[in-house]
């Protein structure tokens, strides 16, 4: 009779243990994950459309060599034209399409808005951009 009781207890214990392991595994990636910032340049393609909240600022940006992806791998980002969310407090006053800007991108994959522009300034007219492919700076073997 004692053995029978043990047989019932073991699956219950295993279940509890599995739950504990799963919880621990899920917690791990949430370790302190400070946002990374990148400074790059780009040309304004299109300003955010006030009629479409979240439409973003379209920029044709230069390569970001040290761009780190969601998995923490330095993959770099090639030059491309893409929309960016602009953080509250960053003014786009006086910015018009075709302007060349330098901007700071803050990337925090845990944040509600993972990628956003946190600083932007207009560069002198005639500033030439270089659209070469990204050269990921640290290629860690995995
Ligand atoms: Cu991009």
pLDDT of residue 29: 44
Question: Is beta strand 80-86 parallel, antiparallel or unpaired with respect to 36-46?
Answer: unpaired
Q: Is residue 23 part of a domain?
A: yes
- Domain contains 113: yes
| Residue 55, both tokens | 């439409």
Percent of the chain with pLDDT over 90: 68
Q: How far is the CA of 11 from the centre of ligand 1 (A)?
A: 50
**Residue 137's pLDDT is what?**
82
Q: Is residue 52 part of a domain?
A: yes
For residues 27 and 86, membership in a common domain is answered with no
- pTM, whole model, 2 decimals? 0.71
Ligand 1 centroid – CA 77 distance (Å): 6
Please give the distance, rounded to the nearest whole angstrom, from the Cα atom of residue 78 to the centre of ligand 1: 7
Measured from the Cβ of residue 31, the count of other Cβ atoms closer than 10 Å reads 6
Are 3 and 61 within one domain? no
| CATH label of the domain that carries residue 113 | 2.40.50.320
pLDDT of residue 86: 96
What pLDDT is attached to residue 54?
Answer: 84
**What's the 61 CA to ligand 1 centre distance in angstroms?**
7
Inside any domain, residue 60: yes
pLDDT < 50 regions, the chain: 23-33, 141-142
With H, G, I as helix, E, B as strand and everything else as coil, classify residue 11.
helix
Whether 83 maps to a domain, the answer reads: yes
pLDDT at 3: 59
118 domain-assigned: yes
Residue 31 CA to ligand 1 centre (angstroms): 26
């Amino acid at each position: 009779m004692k053995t029978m009781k043990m047989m019932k207890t073991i699956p219950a214990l295993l279940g509890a243990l599995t739950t504990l392991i799963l919880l621990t595994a899920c917690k791990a990636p949430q370790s302190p994950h400070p946002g990374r910032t990148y400074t790059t340049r780009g040309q304004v393609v299109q300003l955010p459309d006030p009629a479409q909240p979240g439409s973003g600022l379209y920029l044709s940006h230069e390569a970001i060599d040290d761009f780190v992806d969601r998995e923490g791998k330095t993959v770099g980002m090639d030059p491309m034209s893409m929309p960016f969310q602009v953080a509250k407090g960053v003014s786009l006053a006086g910015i018009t399409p075709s302007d060349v800007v330098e901007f700071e991108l803050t990337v925090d994959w845990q944040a509600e808005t993972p990628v956003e522009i946190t600083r932007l300034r207009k560069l002198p007219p005639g500033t030439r951009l270089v659209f070469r492919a990204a050269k990921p700076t640290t290629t860690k073997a995995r």
